[in-house]
A = this chain, B = another copy of it.
Amino acid sequence: MSFQFDLEATSGQARAATFSTPHGPIRTPCFMPVGTHGALKAMTPAQVAETGAQVVLANTYHLAQKPGEGLVEKLGGLHAFMQWPGPILTDSGGFQVFSLPGVEIADKGVRFKNEHTGDIMDMTPESSIEIQNRLGADIIMAFDECTPYPASRKLAATGVRRTLAWMERCMKAHGRPDDQALFAIVQGSVYPELRAQCAEGLAALDCPGYAIGGVSVGEGHELLCQVTESTAPLLPAQKPRYLMGVGLPEDLIACVGYGVDLFDCVIPTRYARSATVFTSRGRLRLTHRRYRRDAYPIDVSCDCYACKDGAFSRAYLHHLFAANEVLSAILCSIHNVHFYESLMAQARQAILEDRYADFAGEFAEAYGQAETAQSSAPTR
């Protein structure tokens, strides 16, 4: 059996587990950094691995457009193509397609216009899974209908109906169940009974993993927490749980507490490029003039390449941003991804020692002390 989920400890609802994949184990809770085009922005795979990242995400929609799943397959699949030896997860492509202008959604699938060629194209549960089979990630995602926010109950109910029907089609189309785990996705917007109906229907299909989708679409921290808190316990306890597109450090800490195992988000790398870095005492915006002469590293308690032994000063990073040097993005991306991975490693340790609530409280207290940088970067 290529995939196995071993629950090692719980602390309240929080869980520590190991999810085995054909490209190695994933210790949870775990944050997966995003490499949209098959590359993390501004980092080599070696630098990504050094942050402690265990698994990376790549986007099916973007890779299908360029360079095409056929070429990736010919070159040995995503692992060889992007030189990431560990586990990889691909999304279904649906999230990107649903946000295209003029997209048409029907029970059969989705029709949209190719951004590059202008061609009319269709994406269906079958075609999404076929593309993901050819890309070759360890974890692949169901083609679901991602309900926007806000959405009427009617729209959300249609999304749940389609998501359930499409999941069965995805499973039927899946050609590599032995070496690719197909995760189901729970939709239902902010309506608890729809979430419950979707979770129940999907749980009956005995999938190797379950995701909570339709979040991080503008609903905010409070609603995100409500949806996650009520949905996570409805998912099978013996399967990994993945909260899609989430989020800020405070979101992760809250949602680990609700029983989520896996997260992905562009925030650490995207914020890094716009000079916002995370520290144990909150966020800093390095382009602020207060850092122009600051001899300290980003975080004195951090041991990433950018911080360890007090290496690169905030003043140097401030200068690199002012000079438009790409090394600014490189160093801040390394730091931010390391921060997320280190946060999840600490959360895991706290769960193993059954003191997760204390850990979450200590994190919140320390994290609230710094400058709260006003960042305009979107969360997804």
Seen from chain A, the residues whose Cβ lies within 8 Å of a Cβ on chain B are 37-44, 46, 62, 66-67, 71, 74-75, 81-83, 292-293, 295, 305, 311-313, 315-316, 318-320, 322-323, 325-327, 329-331
Contacts and interface: CB of A to CB of B under 8 A. Distances in A.
A308 to B, nearest CB: 11
Nearest to A319: B67
Contact of A327 (B39, B62, B81, B292): B39
Given A319-B38, A319-B67, A320-B39, A326 B326 contact: yes
Contacts of A330: 42, 44, 330
Contacts of A37: 319-320, 323, 325
B39 A71 contact: no
B44 A315 contact: no
Contact of A295 (B39, B75, B325): B75
Contact of A316 (B44, B81, B322, B326): B81
In the A-B complex, list the 7 residue pairs whose CB atoms are closest, starting with the nearest: A37-B323, A39-B327, A67-B319, A39-B325, A42-B326, A83-B311, A37-B325
Contacts of A319: 37-38, 66-67
One complex includes copies of this chain to the number of: 2
A311 B238 CA distance: 37
A331 B67 contact: no
Nearest to A70: B293
Contacts of A81: 313, 315-316
A292 B320 CA distance: 33
Nearest to A313: B75
Nearest to A325: B39
6 contacts: A44-B327, A44-B331, A67-B292, A75-B313, A82-B316, A83-B312
A68 to B, nearest CB: 10
A323 B40 CA distance: 12
A133 B56 CA distance: 46
A44 B312 CA distance: 11
A143 to B, nearest CB: 23
A99 to B, nearest CB: 19
Contact of A67 (B40, B42, B315, B326): B315
A373 B293 CA distance: 44
A331 B312 CA distance: 22
Given A83-B311, A326-B329, 12 more contacts: A39-B323, A41-B327, A42-B327, A42-B330, A44-B305, A44-B327, A62-B323, A66-B323, A71-B315, A74-B293, A75-B293, A82-B316
Nearest to A293: B71
Contacts of A323: 37, 39, 62, 66
